[in-house]
Amino acid sequence: MLNAAPPATSRRRGFSLRATRRACLLAALISTTGCGVFDHIKPGPHDTVESYHDDYAMRIEYPEVHTCSTAPSQAAQQTTEPLSLEDPSKIPALEMSLDEAIQLAVQQSSVLRSIGGTLVTNPQTATTVYEPALAHANPFSGTEAALSAFDAQWTQQLFWNTVDQPQNVNFDGGFAGQFTPRVAQQTQATFNSGLTKQTAQGASFALRHVINYAYSNNPLRRFPSDYGGYIEAEWRQPLLQGSGTTYNRIAGPNSGIGQYNGVLIARVNEDVALADFEQAVVTLVSDVETAYWDLVVAYRILEANVKGRDAALQTFQYQQVRLEAGAGRSDEEAQAQSQYFQFRAAVEQSLGGTSGLYTAEQTLRYLIGLPATDGRLIKPTTKPTDVKVVFDWESALGQALTRRVEVRRQRFNLQRREMELTAARLNRRPLLDFLGKYRWRGLGDDLIGGGDNGQLDNLYDSITSGDYQEWQAGVEFTMPVGLRQASVAYAHAKLNLQRERAILAETELRVSHDLSAAARQITLAQQLLETNYDRYQSDLRQVDVLRRRYTDGTDNINFLLQAQRQVVISESSFYRALTDYNLAIRDFHRQKGSLLAYNQVQLAEGQWAAGAYRDAYEVGRCLTPRLQPQETCVPRPLTRGPFDPSTPQPTSVPQGMPYVPDSMPAGDEVLQTMMIDESETTLK
């Protein structure tokens, strides 16, 4: 026996064992040496075949998408050659007021633009007009998504299966010899149909219908096939955790501990999205006004530089005539020529420079959705305000702490945390549910139809006869000992609430500081406007005096050249101060939360779908107004009512004589005193 050959089975097992060992050895070698082992494998015939992956799989391709023509895309395609140093007086003017610019900016684009934005490099951060609708239509956190948890659910199932199972049963009564096993053969089918509904109180109702079909070769059966089934009604009512309208409106039905996505939470999320959209609109309006006044001051600075260049040219030409006549000096002629070229460079810079006329005009064009260049040049028609504006501080501070969109947004966040704390407190209870079921059973040889089987003729006759009825009633109790997770969730909700309250208090403090800085800036800008105007008038008089003295030959040309430079600088400073004053008024309205009303911008919901108006009309016919609301028990409302950020709020002024600055030159119309409301239309 020791020299006998092993059986075939043993040989196969030995070969399998050796192959397994070799595979394990190869896997271990690869895992320790990486892919380096394949470096020693010689190239095979497959290496001479060109791979599809080499030429196509890794190449860069252009996407094929469906696009539609819109106003921004048409503006991008219609852009002409940019302007650089062309004469603005020879370009057709496109007259535009500030109100028209803001109207174009808020109406002609679905993307809210901003100065210095990162739309191209970071498009996911862009704000569009679709953001509120996206928040509402969010399938996870929107209001409709939260309401869908209360929708009725209809489920159906239909399955078939067969059984062909041999059994260890001997009907001959003996154990010797061969026997044929009995085979249990069955054909089964199951049909389930159910309708479930969740209520706002936490209860769930269900109506189910189950049909089971079975065919069997069991000799003990009355008939080989039958239909069995039942119709069942179920009611499950939470008594502690998960019960009540308050909890289900906040957390939603069947929500876990620490998970809050009910209808009220979804509503607050939509309000926060609306506040973010309003903030983007405020930023857009602010940027448009900034670009508009920058264009105004660009025109003024260009005009001042052109006047300085023309004056320098006259001085240079006059000096050339004197030099040719033998009465002038060459160094004075060179100084006059140098100043001429200096002003010429300033004119060129104020035309095409980074802060020049064409750059400022293109910035405004982008914000209002026009092509970068279209052969026309925007010419502002709104004159900057140069009168003294007086605000009542107490009224402005009260409005800032209530109207600022940042404050309202943070209050919505605080309201959400308050509701989460309520839900977390209600979760600190055991799970106690009442469960009730009632069932009508039946059995029949046929599903529907007549036969000769008496009471078991068909299934539906058996069910509707009411001979077989069952019911169940009871309670289910579940409680984690210690309620550790619920307690931690409650502590977490309390900390979140304290955090949001601290942020709200800090937000209000920051708003008051920002408003104070804006009010200070108005006073400073108004005073600088007066000072720069007086400076400009003084420099004009100085140029007139020095020009006469230079013409008479009693003074050096250096004083005249210096005075000419100084008058251009003071004129530019005056117009910059005038623009800064208008921007300071704008900033005060922004900090006060009234910028939209100041620029007459209104936010409104778009048109509904046609069927929505019909649905609202039909639902409204079924509603009855409460004549005595105090007698109606309703949940606490989320908001105080509608809020329109575009509604003008009058700002009163202290009684008494208006302030007139002492330094205002007599006869000037540059500085006056005006007491206004938020729309800047009421003069007193």
Distance CA 231, CA 98 (A): 72
Contact indicator for 665, 534 with CB cutoff of 8 Å: yes
pLDDT confidence of residue 254:
84
pLDDT beyond 70 at 664: no
Eight-state DSSP code of residue 658: P
Helix (H) / strand (E) element for 95: namely strand 93-96
Q: Which amino acid is at 660?
A: V
Question: If pLDDT is split at 50, 70 and 90, which confidence band does 358 have?
Answer: very high
Mean pLDDT for 473-491 is 94
Mean pLDDT for 129-140 is 91
Mean pLDDT for 513-530 is 95
pLDDT confidence of residue 511:
96
Helix (H) / strand (E) element for 194: namely strand 182-198
Question: If pLDDT is split at 50, 70 and 90, which confidence band does 343 have?
Answer: very high
pLDDT confidence of residue 640:
72
pLDDT beyond 60 at 131: yes
pLDDT confidence of residue 104:
92
pLDDT confidence of residue 451:
64
pLDDT digits (tens, 9 = 90+) for 407-452: 999 999 999 999 999 999 999 999 999 999 999 999 988 888 766 6
Q: Between helices 263-325 and 405-427, what is the axis angle to 10°?
A: 160
Q: 3-state SS string over 424-491?
A: HHHHCCCEEEEEEEEEEEEEECECCCCCCCHHHCEHHHHHHCCCCEEEEEEEEEECCCCCHHHHHHHH
Contacts of 361 (CB under 8 A, 6+ apart): 83, 295, 298, 377, 378
User: What mean pLDDT, rounded, does the chain reach?
Assistant: 84
Question: If pLDDT is split at 50, 70 and 90, which confidence band does 638 have?
Answer: confident
Distance CA 608, CA 136 (A): 14
Q: Which amino acid is at 148?
A: S
Helix (H) / strand (E) element for 675: namely strand 673-675
Helix (H) / strand (E) element for 237: namely strand 225-238
pLDDT digits (tens, 9 = 90+) for 366-402: 999 999 999 999 999 999 999 998 899 999 999 999 9
CB atoms within 10 A of CB 370: 24
Q: Is 683 exposed, middle or buried (0-12, 13-18, 19+ CB in 10 A)?
A: exposed
pLDDT confidence of residue 468:
92
Write phi, then psi, for 250 (nearest 5 degrees): -90, -55
Mean pLDDT for 531-547 is 94
Contact indicator for 289, 598 with CB cutoff of 8 Å: no
pLDDT digits (tens, 9 = 90+) for 581-604: 999 999 999 999 999 999 999 888
Question: If pLDDT is split at 50, 70 and 90, which confidence band does 93 have?
Answer: very high
Mean pLDDT for 138-148 is 91
Mean pLDDT for 95-124 is 87
Distance CA 537, CA 535 (A): 5
CB hemisphere CA count around 641 (13 angstroms): 0
Q: Is 206 exposed, middle or buried (0-12, 13-18, 19+ CB in 10 A)?
A: middle
pLDDT digits (tens, 9 = 90+) for 263-307: 999 999 999 999 999 999 999 999 999 999 999 999 999 999 999
pLDDT digits (tens, 9 = 90+) for 44-77: 665 666 666 666 767 788 888 888 888 888 888 8
Q: Which amino acid is at 605?
A: E
CB atoms within 10 A of CB 425: 15
pLDDT confidence of residue 356:
93
pLDDT beyond 80 at 256: yes
pLDDT confidence of residue 550:
85
- pTM exceeds 0.85: no
pLDDT beyond 60 at 547: yes
Q: Which amino acid is at 399?
A: Q
* Residues composing the chain: 684
pLDDT confidence of residue 255:
87
Coil vs helix vs strand at 110: coil
Write phi, then psi, for 645 (nearest 5 degrees): -70, -10
Coil vs helix vs strand at 28: helix
Contacts of 584 (CB under 8 A, 6+ apart): 518, 521, 522, 524, 525, 526
Percentage of residues of the chain with pLDDT beyond 70: 82
